[in-house]
Amino acid sequence: MFDTLSDRLDKVFTSLRGKGKLSEADIDATAREIRVALLEADVALPVVKAFIAAVKERARGAEVSGALNPAQQVIKIVNEELIAILGGETRLIRYAKNPPTVIMLAGLQGAGKTTLAGKLAKWLKAQGHAPLLVACDLQRPNAVQQLQVVGGQAGVDVFAPYPGSGVGDPVDAAKKAIEHATRMQHDVVVVDTAGRLGIDAEMMAQAAAIRDAVRPDETLFVVDAMIGQDAVTTAQAFQDGVGFSGVVLTKLDGDARGGAALSVRHITGQPILFASTGEKLGDFDVFHPERMASRILGMGDVMTLIEQAEKHFDADQAEKMAGKLMGGEDFDLEDFLEQMMQVKKMGSITSLLGMLPGMGQMKEALAQVDDKDLDRIAAIIRSMTPQERRTPKVLNGSRRLRIAKGSGVTVTEVNNLVDRFYEAQKMMKQMGGMPGMPPGMGRKAKRAQQGKKTKKGKGPGRAGGGPRPGTVPGQLPAGMPQLPKGFPQLPGGQNPLGIPQKPDPFGLNRPRG
Amino acid sequence: MELLVFVVLVLVVTVVTTVALVASRGRAGRALPPVPPSAPRPVETTPTATDAALPADAPILPATTESVQTAPPVAAPAALDVPEPTAGRIGRLRARLARSQSTLGRGLFTLLSRDVLDEDTWEEVEDTLLQADMGVRATSELVERLRTRVRVEGTRSPGELRTLLREELVTAIGADTDRSLKTLPHPDGRPSVILVVGVNGTGKTTTCGKLARVLVADGRSVVLGAADTFRAAAADQLQTWGERVGAETVRGPEAGDPASVAFEAVKRGIEAKVDTVLIDTAGRLHTKTGLMDELGKVKRVVEKHGPVDETLLVLDATTGQNGVVQARVFTEAVDVTGIVLTKLDGTAKGGIVISVQRELGIPVKLIGLGEGPDDLAPFEPEAFADALLGDEAAL
């Protein structure tokens, strides 16, 4: 597990706490930590160096803010700088004045070009275009067939004059494709090319020949989010060899931090147009710079988490659940089991927690959590009768023994679960039914609270500048006006709501003073 | 919109509760993945080339592979390709790297031309390693060890430093690790089973095809199992590889159950009394729990015939720090016994395998050097270390 940048900076600044001003020494102390954080996110070294120089420059001239402590201020600068680089002039595909618009895909082997061709075709079709896929990857065995299948799934035509697997001339195929598209009235042509290495002069020449033959309106460089330091060399080679006008980042559904996005953008200056986030043809989206920035910094990716939750959570159930919590009803083991199963659907618990900001302090606890523990808890709960699940109070010694036997654990483990559940239940009650939260909450409650707060703070900020305001809570829901009352517990001056306009999402993670 | 807030709220509450429930048990750290079995059958698939002793610029193999790029027409299916022998393949790695003339090599070359060890020199050493994707932690550890050694041994010149660095790198990669591949049939006639896994687009199918060729070249019989039922035309791709060398490919319906295809492949292998069964699986991101479970199932089902002899994780040399996470998750799911580092023919260095070896103890067994059908070679720590540092010393 990587430490997030905020954890690292926290460590650096512990000795400096309370000063509240950004000095030269502070900046230098942070530079190294930022460097490590970026390198761990696979941002290429030359880019890291240039980036840090820029951040230092800005930090030096920065207005000292009374509202943020040094760590927060540095992170804010880094984050803003990242978003500025990643997001500067985002744009969509430029269509040609006279159709067909030609889009050419290029990239390393295995970056995901053929799959992307299908996704792009489907997306274009949904936008009302009539795309044509062209198979110019005649190198890899059966790449042509793959494109045909993908095209079939997307419901678009595929033009494949050559059988592939080493047979045929890709340049000629590309040429014929344009004629074919004009004849068949396709207004967008997507040319899928073979994967090639930047140093392979012969293949680069071939790509350039294809480019000259079709004169693409957009050449998209397809790059894997998992790529490491090599991103710079490769991007440069493709820029010199073929020249591209946009970048597509693939495999963002993995947990790679995707520093390549920054490297490629920084080195070539070309914008990142799309992000591909899954194996299905629909898993394709325009690129969100601010999400990427958080991701590179390891700050947690709440938006993605919310989207995942949306995808996997049963809306009715969630509402019922939330209602229960709000109404201060008892949260019973049955509910807990249900929620746990839903959470499990979304992926491993560690990766989920990784997406939550402010979980840094829990890293150690996290290291011990494992999905098998979830299974064990589920087994214990499933060994209970419905009555026991609803009212765990009835669990006496013999019942516990039976449950332990039924789920193959020791009685101690059952006891532990029940005890901890009571604690959790108490905490839920406080959170749910809170008319002003009692101050004497346990540590765990605070953590939960923290997670929530972050989301609250983020919401309004994102809604203002984010690309998809519709998915973001624009204001606090009416059902929970009490929540902000919890905030006075925070040390003064760190109140996230006190930051005007663009609340720093990361400043919120830090209620410990 | 409010619903969304609720959903997240509930989610957070659940996650936190769960962690609270689970974490406090204070369990000891889980055991690390086991190191490959201690007593391997006396088999070396890949007769290791003795080229460590070869001069790097020795005329290496005829450049058959170069012509691949111009896509020669495939021979008629009847005439099977006869793969080149596996010996001496790694020599080509150097030839290719010389071609790419990496910036790293040049960086260290300037380093060599100075006479004293100053802070800049150290920084360059560090940069070199970082740019090879070794990762911050592994790099700083290695540099720290080097600094100590330099202090103890009183090394003065950067030239000596380079030698030390190379030694340290070889140690980090693990010079004496067992890298043999168990591909001989078991004494009871059951074929050896090799499972190939990895994330999308690292070259699993290609590796399977190349490995089949290597085995056939060494006079083995092979059955290929196309358990990638997900990606369009993956089975066709594998079959094409199989047909070229005359190996049978067992395949199932598209979107069928990969475990059943794998099971059938091994069954077919047993019936046909072949030496090795190679199972290609679909690429899957390690973050997809469902797919990782599916992979676990494939392995469990195959093991109904007897244990899987090798589980090879295919790792792309361009992969950055995520490689360690991948290796860890795959090891948890299917107990990876070796790594195949592919696409080493580009400018990427694949330094991530050092982190993998360091944290998980999984050795690299094979390397992929390009798209040519015979571009697969056994891994050699010394040659790899040289490649990481640029080729100057070897020249």
**B132/A166 CB distance under 8 A:** no
Average pLDDT over residues B28-55: 37
Q: What angle do CA B274, B279, B282 make, to 5 degrees?
A: 165
Helix H, strand E, coil C: the string for chain B is CHHHHHHHHHHHHHHHHHHHHHHCCCCCCCCCCCCCCCCCCCCCCCCCCCCCCCCCCCCCCCCHHHHHHHCCCCCCCCCCCCCCCCCCCCHHHHHHHHHHCCHHHHHHHHHHCCCCCCHHHHHHHHHHHHHCCCCHHHHHHHHHHHHHHHHHHCCCCHHHHHHHHHHHHHHHHCCCCCCCCCCCCCCCCCCEEEEEECCCCCCHHHHHHHHHHHHHHCCCCEEEEEECCCCCCHHHHHHHHHHHHCCEEEECCCCCCHHHHHHHHHHHHHHCCCCEEEEEECCCCCCCHHHHHHHHHHHHHHCCCCCCCEEEEEEECCECCHHHHHHHHHHHHHCCCEEEEECCCCCCCCCHHHHHHHHHCCCEEEEECCCCCCCEEECCHHHHHHHHHCCHHHC
Give mean pLDDT, residues B149-176: 79
Pairwise CA distance, residues A344 & A374, whole Å: 8
Specify whether the CB–CB gap between B211 and B376 falls below 8 A: yes
Q: Is residue B76 less than 8 Å (CB to CB) from chain A?
A: no
Contact: B6, A321; criterion CB under 8 Å: yes
Cα–Cα distance measured from residue A428 to residue B275, given in angstroms and rounded to the nearest whole number:
60
Residues B350-371 have a mean pLDDT of: 86
Q: Do A230 and B371 touch (CB under 8 A)?
A: no
Instruction: Give the nearest chain B residue to A362 (CA atoms).
Output: B19
Q: Per-residue confidence at B268, pLDDT binned at 50, 70, 90?
A: very high
Nearest to A146 among B73, B232, B346 (CB): B232
Asked if A228 and B318 come within 8 Å (Cβ–Cβ), the reply is yes
Find the CB nearest A318 among B6, B132, B241.
B6
Taking an 8 Å cut-off on Cβ atoms, the answer to whether A255 and B325 are in contact is: yes
Structure-model confidence comparison of residues A513 and B232, the more confident one? B232
Give the span between the Cα atoms of B282 and B291, in whole angstroms: 9
Q: Please name the residue that has the structure tokens 């074919």.
A: A180
Yes or no: say if A44 and A263 are a contact pair by the CB < 8 Å rule: yes
- And the tokens for B165? 């660095």
Query: What was the pLDDT predicted at A364?
Result: 56
Q: Chain B residues with CB inside 8 Å of A172's CB?
A: none
A369 and B22 in contact by Cβ < 8 A?
yes
Asked if B333 contacts B284 with a C-beta cutoff of 8 angstroms, the reply is: no
Pick the residue from chain B with its C-alpha nearest to A197. Answer: B346
Residue of B nearest to A351 (CA): B287
Of A486-490, B16-20, B196-200, which range is least confident? A486-490
Q: In chain B, which residues have their Cβ closer than 8 Å to the Cβ of A353?
A: 15, 19
Q: Which residues of chain A lie closer than 8 angstroms to B133, CB-CB?
A: 42, 228-230
Q: What is the pLDDT of residues B334-357, one digit of tens each?
A: 999 999 998 887 777 788 888 888
- Name the residue of chain A whose CA is nearest to B2's CA: A477
Q: With contacts defined as CB-CB under 8 Å, which chain B residues touch A166?
A: 71-74
What number is the average pLDDT over the span B188-197? Answer: 91
Q: E strands within A278-423?
A: 284-286
Q: Of A21-35, A333-347, B66-80, B236-250, where does the model show the most confidence? A: B236-250
Mutate to test the interface with B, among A162, A197, A332, A335 (most CBs of B within 10 A): A197
Inform me whether the C-beta atom of residue B39 falls under 8 Å from chain A C-beta atoms: no
B110-126 average pLDDT score: 70
Query: Looking at the partner chain, which of A145, A230, A318 has a beta carbon nearest the beta carbon of B348?
Result: A230
- Whole-number pLDDT of residue B374: 81
Q: Mean pLDDT throughout B3-9?
A: 48
What is the per-residue pLDDT for B356?
Answer: 87
B201 vs A357, residue with greater confidence: B201
Mean pLDDT of all residues in B223-250: 88
Least CA distance to A347: which residue of chain B? Answer: B289
- For A243, counting Cβ atoms within 10 Å of its Cβ (0-12 exposed, 13-18 middle, 19+ buried), the class is middle
Q: What is d(CA B378, CA B214) in angstroms, rounded to the nearest whole number?
A: 11
Interchain CB distance below 8 Å, A336 and B4: no
Query: How much is the pLDDT for B54?
Result: 34
Residues 157-196 of B with CB under 8 A from A: none
The verdict on a CB contact (< 8 Å) between B71 and A138 is: yes
Contact check, Cβ <8 Å, B3/A423: no
pLDDT of B182 > 60? The answer is yes
Per residue in B292-320, pLDDT (tens digit) is 889 999 999 999 998 999 999 999 888 88
User: What CA–CA distance (Å, rounded) separates B372 from A359?
Assistant: 47
Per-residue pLDDT of chain A (513 residues; tens, 9 = 90+): 345 556 666 666 665 555 556 677 777 777 888 888 888 888 888 888 888 888 888 877 666 555 566 667 777 788 888 888 887 666 778 888 888 899 999 998 888 888 899 999 999 998 889 999 999 888 877 888 889 988 998 899 998 888 877 778 888 888 888 999 989 889 999 999 988 888 888 888 889 999 998 889 999 999 988 888 888 888 988 999 888 999 999 988 877 778 888 888 888 888 888 888 877 888 888 888 877 887 777 665 566 666 666 666 666 776 776 676 666 566 778 888 887 777 777 666 666 666 665 554 555 555 566 667 778 888 888 899 988 888 888 888 899 999 999 988 889 888 888 888 888 777 776 665 544 333 333 333 333 333 333 333 333 333 333 333 333 333 333 333 333 333 333 333 333 333 333 333 333 333 333
The whole-model pTM stands at 0.69
Q: Which of A10-19, B203-212, B227-236 has the lowest mean pLDDT?
A: A10-19
What is the number of other CB atoms lying within 10 angstroms of the CB of residue A141? 24
Enumerate the residues of chain B whose CB falls inside 8 A of the CB of residue A322.
3, 6-7, 9-10
Mean pLDDT on B82-106:
53
